[in-house]
Chains A and B, each alone.
Chain A
Amino acid sequence: MEQPAEDARIRSASGVPLPEVAVPGTAQRDPMDPAGGPDGGPDDRLGLPGGFPYTRGIRPGMYRERPWTIRQLAGFGTAQETNARYRMLLDGGATGINGVFDYPSLRAFDSDDPRAGADVGRGGVAVDLRGDFDTLFDGIPLDEVSVSLVSSQPIGAVPHLAMYVRSAERRGFAPARLAGTSQNDFLMETAITIAPEALPPAGSFRLACDLAEFALRTMPRWNPVSVSGYNYREAGADAVLEMALCLAHGQAVVRALLDRGFAAEPVLARVTFFLSAHSDFFEEVAKYRALRRMWAHWVRDELGVRDPRAQLLRYHVQTSGVTNSARHAHVNIARSALQGLAAVCGGTQSLHVNGYDEAVCIPSEHAALTALRTQYVLLHETGVAKVADPLGGSYLVEYLTDELEERARRVLERIGELGGIVAATERGWVHAELARTAFADQKAIENGERLVVGVNTQLDGDAEELDRFELPEGSLERQVAALERARSRRDREAAGVALKLVARACRDGENVMPAVLDAVDADVTLGELGRVFRDELGRWEFPLWQEC
């Protein structure tokens, strides 16, 4: 990518020199001197970017040092079709891969499972075998491009990572060179995207930690858990609940890995977050800032960890799909751009901007490219990348930052009283809270308390008709045929033995990853592994939803 001259980057559009960060008194002093609050020292609730408690960002120069990663979500149909989309996005300026899987693959059902039915290749790519990962990442340098596997549910994340690692090894990329992320979030499995035959919360959480343990030992550039506040938000949470669930979950993962014998620093350096960018601009900016501060304080004050690299809350952001409207779809371009602006004003490390057809279908090529170009408008045209934490010191943003912190702290305490995030999920508290906030939000729209363009105001004009993205013809049939072919060709005995060893690891409480890696080498399928996990760790029937 062509970089603008250094001078042009650090001046405003009309030539005013811009400091790396603005602080109280910047206007009166030498604007290029970043040090000092009004009394000469930085406010200890804000600090400077790159300094505790990181309210103002994780690096001194923020996007001057490194722009956020432009990571557009993609996945549909078969591995071959999705590989072409990845390449299109990389050619168009994406700087990371954000690969999403279809529902059967997320939940570890095979593409020919009767339950999978019409959902194969919808909303994500279908994968069944290690060989699908060979095709999915064909031609992509896995040691250069960081790959986020949106394997949201641990039951799928464990086999997906095993398939990814084995596939990469066959192409000459050792696990230690692989950079990326597994989403691997037990709340996704048990409260957010409820599957048929989901694992119970404790079993799902255990698989998530098995994956994390394996990655921490063998994949130093891999983020093994991405706590998915984005999805909690989409399911109904407000900003405060999103924050509290993220913190409670992130803390639980860290504590579980400490219990498995890890030192805190390497764990903390690799647990990451995935947050929403909703429509209330100032609240969203405040949310990111408050979360960084709360996490840094927890790490330092509760865990006693002083290493600055371990105190940083790092995250990816997606603009909010649920805020998009189907009626006037092109207005979603404006909505998503503003949400993306909030994300980068708040200091995100990575961003996906939604396609304007998000409310209707997965992104068409045109929608995906428009979203990608929107990221470059943010990066090159708005000036937001020139100065770290550009809204720091705003009376409103600082007030909201403090207020959100206080409110999230109260919810976090409530989760603690319930016995932590796993117990709160088992008891149905998480489900009830999400349902309550989602219903309240719908009521606020219906009684006009919250106005949404194209939904309850500005309804003039006909609904726009979009060219809907359609799955490529024959996608499902090709996937199922390849799966059947692989099943008939493999060494059946070896596959059977490999599956038994996975079952034994589940029963004996050993880390399942080594057995799963062997199983995918023997062409054991995703659905077969899912069945073993369900048989051994249990099926959760969600009696809770009757009351929600």
Chain B
Amino acid sequence: MGVPVVAGVLSGRKGVVAKLGMDAHWRGAIVVCNGLREAGMDVVYLGHTTPADLVAAVRRERPDLVGLSSLTGNHLQECRRLMSALDAEGLGDLRVVVGGTIPAEDRDTLLALGVDGIFGTGSRLDVIVDDVAALLGH
């Protein structure tokens, strides 16, 4: 079982990945970084990021995708802060996905904030890669 990740489907694309707030669980974020890299994406892992740091990183790296990770339940408050910081800087069009422990009832709120995709715990790497590729217009 399992469909192998299509090699190179994200070649030429760049992503930045960050942890939200002080959440310590980096395992999923790093595993997803490696999965995206295997599909050809150039991925920069920022670690813990304040809204200001994220805006600076986006200006510096000019990514196609921002990936945010949270497993502590801080996702609504922290996403709100980050998305409004991106909007305020005119970066509201950037594609943003969120991964981690995201309860079903919070999905609509996140989508309304401008998040483009949500990957809960247990998401498969090949599914994440496919969805990101679709999101970026492959």
**What is the interface of chain A, defined by CB distance below 8 A to chain B?**
103-104, 106-107, 109, 114-119, 122-123, 192-196, 234-236, 322, 325-327, 359-361, 434-435, 438-439, 442-443, 446-448, 454-456, 463, 465, 468, 542, 545-546, 548
Contact = CB atoms under 8 A, between A and B. Distances in A.
A117 to B, nearest CB: 5
B73 A122 contact: yes
10 contacts: A103-B21, A114-B50, A115-B50, A117-B74, A119-B72, A195-B22, A196-B22, A196-B48, A322-B27, A435-B31
A119 B71 CA distance: 11
B126 A118 contact: no
Contact of B31 (A114, A116, A439, A545): A439
B115 to A, nearest CB: 16
B30 to A, nearest CB: 5
Given A119-B74, A195-B24, A361-B73, A442 B81 contact: no
Contacts of B34: 435, 439, 548
B84 interface: no
Contacts of B134: none
B124 A326 contact: no
A103 B23 contact: yes
Given A109-B22, A326-B121, A455-B122, A117 B73 contact: no
A103 B25 CA distance: 11
B73 to A, nearest CB: 5
Nearest to B48: A196
Nearest to A324: B121
Interface in B63-92: 72-74, 76-78, 81
B31 A235 contact: no
B104 interface: yes
Nearest to B17: A545
B123 to A, nearest CB: 10
Nearest to B24: A193
Q: Which 10 A/B pairs are nearest by Cβ-Cβ distance?
A: A193-B24, A118-B77, A118-B74, A103-B22, A196-B48, A448-B1, A119-B22, A447-B2, A119-B21, A439-B34
Contacts of A322: 27
B81 A117 contact: yes
B50 A325 contact: no
B78 A117 contact: yes
A124 B78 CA distance: 18
Contacts of B81: 117
Given A118-B77, A435-B34, 20 more contacts: A104-B22, A107-B22, A115-B22, A119-B21, A119-B23, A122-B73, A123-B72, A193-B24, A194-B26, A196-B48, A235-B26, A235-B27, A435-B31, A439-B30, A439-B34, A439-B35, A442-B125, A447-B2, A448-B1, A463-B104
A68 B37 CA distance: 45
A526 B52 CA distance: 25
Looking at B22, B34, B50, which has the most chain A CB atoms within 10 Å of its CB? B22
Interface residues of B, number: 35
A286 to B, nearest CB: 24
Contact of A359 (B50, B73, B121, B125): B121
Contact of B21 (A117, A234, A435): A117
A103 B30 contact: no
B137 interface: no
Given A114-B50, A234-B27, A326 B21 contact: no
B47 interface: yes
A545 B77 contact: no
A61 B34 CA distance: 48
Interface string B18-46: 00011111110011011100000000110
A106 B124 CA distance: 31
Nearest to A191: B26
B23 to A, nearest CB: 7
B103 A360 contact: yes
Interface in B113-138: 120-122, 124-126
Contacts of A435: 30-31, 34
Contacts of B48: 115, 194-196
Contacts of B33: 548
A443 B23 CA distance: 24
Contacts of A463: 104
B125 to A, nearest CB: 6
B109 to A, nearest CB: 14
B38 to A, nearest CB: 9
Looking at B23, B26, B44, which has the most chain A CB atoms within 10 Å of its CB? B26
A447 B76 CA distance: 33
A192 B33 CA distance: 17
Contacts of B31: 435, 438-439, 442
B74 A122 contact: yes
Given A194-B48, A195-B24, A359-B121, A545 B30 contact: yes
B127 to A, nearest CB: 9
A327 B35 CA distance: 23
Contacts of B76: 118
A114 B122 CA distance: 31
A528 to B, nearest CB: 18
A103 B122 contact: no
